[in-house]
Every structure is written in C-alpha cells, then in structure tokens.
C-alpha cells in the first residue's frame, strides 16, 4: 500500500526534485485531497467499516460522531430485535413513515445525527455498515488506506500540485489538471467494473454514495 512518502516521491520527481518546505507542504496537502477524491469515486472496500451505536430507551435520535470518519451509511442492523432498519430520505421523514410503530424500523440521517422511528421502549444496539473518509496522512510512513488506485491518486496529487505552483488560477490550468485525471480515472472505472460487476454504478447510486 502506498505511503505518504511514496506519493511525495512520485510528485517530487515531476517537479525536478524540489524539496523546500512550501513544496513539501503542498505535496502533503495534494496527497490527502487526492486520497479523498479516490474514495469518493471508487468507494474502496478497505474503507467499508462496521460500528455499533446504542439507542437508549425513549430516544428517537442518536449521534453518529462515534463512527470512524463517517462518509455514508450503507445498512443498519438492529441486533436487539434481529431486524434491519429501512432508510427514508430526510425530506420525506415526516410524510411517509408510519406513526403506529412499537419498535425502531426506519431511519434517516441529518448531518451527524441518526433519526429513528419509533423510539424504543428498551435499549437497542444498532450495527452500522458505513463507508469512511480516508485517514489523514501526516507522517511519511502513514498509509494511503486503500489499494488498486495508486496511479489515480498520484496523478491527482500531481495535477493539484501543478495548479498550486502556478501564479494564477485559470481555466487552462484546471483543464490541464483534468487531463491528468482522465487516464487513471478510466483505468480505475474499468477495475471497479471487473471487481464488482457491471451493476456497480447502479448499486452505488442506490446506496447514496
């Protein structure tokens, strides 16, 4: 797995070995932004995590801040009653959820809060499968956090560094950045199709990623 230093070394070569403090700082920021974009585009399985939160008696909401770097919720399993919670979009929360419920059956997300209906009469344990943002890479040995998209991350980080080193921000600069991304993005999309099958894009859209 790539480390921060691997990414910095790859960028540095493209800029003549420039290693002054502002350049190194730019390389690090670009690497972290590139890792986030890689996660948003490819949803790597290494960052599909499971966490547990407690829903206490009478509570119809609970904070999600205990889930590691939460990006998107995939599924919720109510371990207390061995039943899944069904997702309702937040803008339909007050419209289509039945009011005559005795146990938590539905959920929606509002920021860092999980809302459920109905509030439980006893404590419930919710197991949440979710995708996470990548860990911030601060030290040279810190890992990227996912495999298979090294060339994409390096290309994006290089393009961002190129844009940062330019004197001004223009349409032409960002067109060049986009050109950096084209090849690695196409390869990454092909790899994802091979790994997950032709229905992966429909699945990802359904899960709200």
Q: Supply the pTM of this predicted model.
A: 0.74
- pLDDT, one tens digit per residue, over 51-103 is 999 999 999 999 999 998 999 999 999 999 999 999 999 888 888 777 778 88
Distances (CA, A) of 114 to 76, 85, 106, 117, 134: 11, 11, 10, 10, 22
* pLDDT number for residue 75: 96
- pLDDT, one tens digit per residue, over 163-208 is 888 755 556 666 666 676 666 666 666 655 544 455 444 444 444 4
- Residue 156's closest CA among 124, 117, 197, 187? 187
């Amino acid at each position: 797995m790539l480390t921060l230093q691997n990414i910095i070394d790859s960028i540095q070569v493209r800029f003549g070995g420039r290693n002054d403090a502002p350049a190194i700082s730019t390389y690090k920021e670009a690497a972290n932004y590139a890792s986030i974009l890689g996660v948003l585009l490819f949803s790597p399985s290494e960052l599909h995590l499971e966490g547990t939160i407690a829903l206490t008696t009478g509570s119809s909401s609970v904070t999600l801040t205990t889930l590691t770097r939460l990006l998107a919720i995939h599924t919720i399993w109510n371990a207390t009653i061995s039943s899944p919670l069904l997702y309702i979009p937040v803008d339909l929360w007050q419209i289509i959820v039945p009011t005559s419920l005795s146990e938590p059956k539905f959920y929606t997300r509002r920021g860092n809060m999980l809302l459920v209906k109905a509030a439980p009469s006893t404590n419930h344990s919710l197991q949440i499968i979710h995708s996470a943002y990548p860990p911030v890479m601060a030290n040279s040995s810190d890992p990227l956090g996912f495999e298979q998209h090294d060339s994409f991350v390096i290309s994006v980080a290089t393009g961002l560094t190129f844009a940062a080193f330019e004197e001004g921000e223009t349409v032409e600069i960002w067109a060049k950045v986009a050109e950096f991304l084209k090849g690695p993005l196409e390869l990454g999309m092909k790899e994802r199709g091979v790994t997950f099958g032709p229905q992966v894009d429909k699945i990802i859209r359904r899960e709200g990623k």
